């Protein structure tokens, strides 16, 4: 059973991996038509109620496949509604001659009708109103008078309290979260040809997960991040901080030891760096770090840090004390490997490469992709965290779900791109994404930004180039 949002992810990724939405729609219509014919029990009339979106397009396709097998009538949600896309227009043209007003339904004997509910799909954002509500009432009335009602993908209005109550729901690929026989009737799961890669790999569909700011939002509503790092390398926390900003975080606080402060503060006026008392991190700095972590939705710890005793003790104490979601990277991974309890069961994304994974778990990473995936999944489940294993193919798992990411290129072996990924993931966590969603979306954005850079920078791309390409990825793939 999948979350409703996951099917929007799958639709977009299916197209990305070579199976157009038009094919999925035609397959969906065919499967619905087959269910209608199987379940009609001698009823001769099919009345298909179609909304303005892709769910309505599935209804158009079902009408096309039913023509000649039953008497088919199509009712539109709004009289004279226009198609939202060329895809819907092309499917509508195939059945436009059988479109009637809703009053036609009174000419049928209810017990001789199969009503196909293709009004509203899984993208519903609130209780149905207006024409949608009145059609839901109409379909439920027909049902009470003896019509068979079959919903397409989800009952219209679901998951709100106001929804169609069908005899059957023909749902695509898998049952949707919350569906059961009480609210959806008999659930028939139909294969509509979603490609295997769309299920296993990230793609533009992951952008559905990005929390788009509301029009009335203000500073601080869209992500506040604290980045804790530096000491060994000043660039690493700088890259993470700038990447968090470019991913859409409103505020980023950067906590660095004294020896890194000047380099970080001079990098960009956008940064807000704060220095600790000494030149290196020590347990005495935990209170300072926690002051900023408490103001954040998520924090990063580890980039550019040393693993001397004082720094390690500082990392351990911050992770033990901080209640916020965290990205554990670089030096912090090694520290966590020595005391796994400081990350267990937390809203944590751990971002190791192969050698860091060995420091975390004591195991060498498997050489085969499938073996690596099983290994990452097993450790993520055991620790109760999300692990994002960086590599030519990234592997992301929370122990229950696993995804692969193949965006990116060999030019991204340059230093700093891992710190960029860390900042991207932290920004998404701070915006409210779950650790698994932040990790898989972050991997896609980071690799895609690297691919944008590679077109003009080739093997000369730098981490700063990747950061500056993040907004282009957002522009390219974010849409309603």
List the chain domain ranges: 4-200, 204-477
Q: 4-200 has which CATH code?
A: 3.40.50.10260
Task: Output the pTM of the full model.
Answer: 0.91
Here the tokens at position 298 are 């998520």
How far CA 468 is from CA of 129, 253, 346, 462, in Å, comes to 43, 19, 31, 10
Q: Cβ neighbours of residue 95 under 8 Å, at least 6 residues apart?
A: 60, 63, 64, 67, 72, 74
Q: How far apart are CA 80 and CA 392, in angstroms?
A: 51
pLDDT, position 130? 92
pLDDT, position 177? 87
User: What is the number of helices (H) and of strands (E) in the chain?
Assistant: 17, 16
Residue range 204-477 in CATH 3.10.180.10: no
Q: How far apart are CA 226 and CA 253, in angstroms?
A: 5
Helices (H), 40-85: 54-66
Asked, colleague to colleague, whether 4-200 and 204-477 share their fold, the answer is no
pLDDT, position 3? 75
pLDDT, position 215? 86
Here the tokens at position 383 are 């620790």
pLDDT, position 157? 94
Q: Per residue, what are the HEC states of 139-184? A: HHHHHHCCCEEEEECCCCCCCCCCCCCCCEEEEECCCECCCCHHHH
pLDDT, position 395? 98
How do the pLDDT tens digits run along the chain, 480 residues long?
677 788 889 989 999 999 999 999 999 999 999 999 999 999 999 999 999 999 999 999 999 999 999 999 999 998 766 667 888 999 999 999 999 999 998 899 999 999 999 999 887 778 999 999 999 999 999 999 999 999 999 999 999 999 999 999 999 998 888 999 999 999 999 999 999 999 999 999 999 999 999 888 889 899 999 999 999 899 999 999 999 999 999 999 999 999 999 999 999 999 999 999 899 999 999 999 999 999 999 999 999 999 999 999 999 999 999 989 999 999 999 999 999 999 999 999 999 999 999 999 999 998 899 999 999 999 999 999 999 999 999 999 999 999 999 999 999 999 999 999 999 999 999 999 999 999 999 999 999 999 999 999 999 999 999 999 999 999 999 975
> 32 φ, ψ to 5°?
-65, -45
Q: How far apart are CA 189 and CA 4, in angstroms?
A: 14
Q: What is the DSSP letter of 192?
A: -
Q: What is the DSSP letter of 249?
A: -
pLDDT, position 80? 65
pLDDT, position 83? 64
pLDDT, position 451? 98
């Amino acid at each position: 059973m999948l979350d409703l949002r996951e099917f929007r992810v799958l639709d977009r990724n299916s197209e990305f991996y070579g199976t157009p939405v038009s094919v999925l729609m035609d397959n969906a219509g065919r499967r619905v038509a087959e269910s209608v014919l199987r379940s009609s029990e001698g009823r001769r009339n099919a009345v298909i109620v179609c909304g303005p979106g892709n769910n309505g397009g599935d209804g158009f396709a079902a009408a096309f496949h039913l023509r000649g097998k039953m008497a088919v009538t199509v009712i539109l949600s709004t009289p004279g509604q226009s198609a939202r896309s060329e895809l819907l227009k092309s499917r509508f043209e195939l059945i436009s001659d059988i479109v009637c007003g809703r009053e036609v339904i009174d000419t049928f004997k209810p017990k001789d009708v199969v009503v196909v509910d293709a009004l509203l799909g899984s993208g519903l954002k609130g209780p149905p109103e207006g024409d949608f509500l009145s059609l839901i009432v109409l379909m439920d009335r027909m049902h009470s008078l003896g019509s068979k009602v079959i919903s397409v993908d989800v009952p219209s209005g679901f998951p709100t309290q106001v929804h169609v109550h069908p005899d059957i729901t023909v749902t695509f690929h898998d049952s949707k979260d919350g569906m059961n026989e009480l609210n959806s009737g008999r659930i028939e799961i139909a294969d509509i040809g979603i490609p295997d890669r769309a299920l296993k790999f990230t793609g533009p569909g992951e952008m559905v997960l990005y929390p788009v700011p509301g029009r009335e939002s203000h500073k601080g509503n869209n992500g506040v991040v604290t980045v804790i790092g530096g000491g060994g390398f000043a660039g690493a926390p700088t890259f993470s901080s700038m990447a968090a900003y470019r991913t859409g975080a409103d505020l980023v606080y950067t906590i660095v030891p004294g020896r890194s402060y000047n380099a970080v503060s001079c990098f960009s006026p956008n940064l807000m760096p704060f220095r600790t008392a000494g030149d290196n991190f020590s347990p005495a700095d935990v209170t300072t770090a926690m002051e900023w972590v408490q103001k954040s939705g998520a924090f990063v710890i580890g980039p550019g840090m040393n693993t001397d005793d004082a720094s390690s003790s500082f990392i351990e104490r911050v992770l033990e004390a901080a209640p916020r979601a965290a990205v554990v990277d670089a030096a912090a991974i090694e520290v966590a490997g020595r005391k796994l309890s400081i990350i267990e069961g937390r809203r944590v994304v751990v971002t190791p490469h192969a050698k860091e994974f060995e420091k975390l778990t004591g195991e060498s990473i498997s050489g085969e992709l499938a073996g690596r995936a099983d290994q990452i999944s097993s450790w993520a489940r055991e620790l109760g965290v999300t692990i994002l294993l960086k590599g030519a193919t990234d592997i992301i798992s929370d122990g229950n779900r696993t995804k692969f990411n193949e965006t990116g290129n060999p030019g991204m072996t340059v230093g700093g791109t891992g710190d960029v990924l860390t900042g991207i993931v932290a920004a998404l966590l701070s915006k409210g994404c779950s650790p698994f969603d932040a990790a898989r979306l972050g991997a896609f954005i980071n690799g895609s930004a690297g691919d944008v850079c590679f077109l003009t920078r080739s093997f000369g791309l730098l981490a700063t180039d990747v950061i500056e390409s993040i907004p282009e990825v957002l522009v390219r793939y974010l849409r309603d």
